[in-house]
Amino acid sequence: MQGKEASFVKRFKHTLSQTERYVLSLRYCDEMTPQEIGLVLDMPTSSIDHVLLDLRKRARTTLRGDRILTANN
């Protein structure tokens, strides 16, 4: 990971709630489905889907603000 991207990940990670960090880790590190994450965290799948959607939107907005992503991404 390049300097700008690594810096973004560190800053973004610190803005997340504990639940958001768990969901993100289980989804992208452990490659679990939203259904599996829901079982692990005792949350409805729809809530997991909502957390993931919100995280993607927040990350995209922040990346564009940092000029790591362009409007085309």
Residues 52/66, Cβ–Cβ less than 8 Å: no
CA dihedral sign, ordered 30, 39, 13, 59 = positive
Per residue in 2-55, pLDDT (tens digit) is 677 777 878 888 899 999 999 999 998 999 999 999 999 999 999 999 999 999
Q: Helix or strand or coil: residue 32? A: coil
pTM of the model: 0.78
Question: Which domains, ranges and CATH numbers included, belong to the chain?
Answer: 3-64 (1.10.10.10)
Q: 64 is written with which tokens? A: 């564009």
Which stretch of DSSP H or E encloses residue 63?
Answer: helix 45-65
Confidence band of 73 (pLDDT split at 50, 70, 90): low
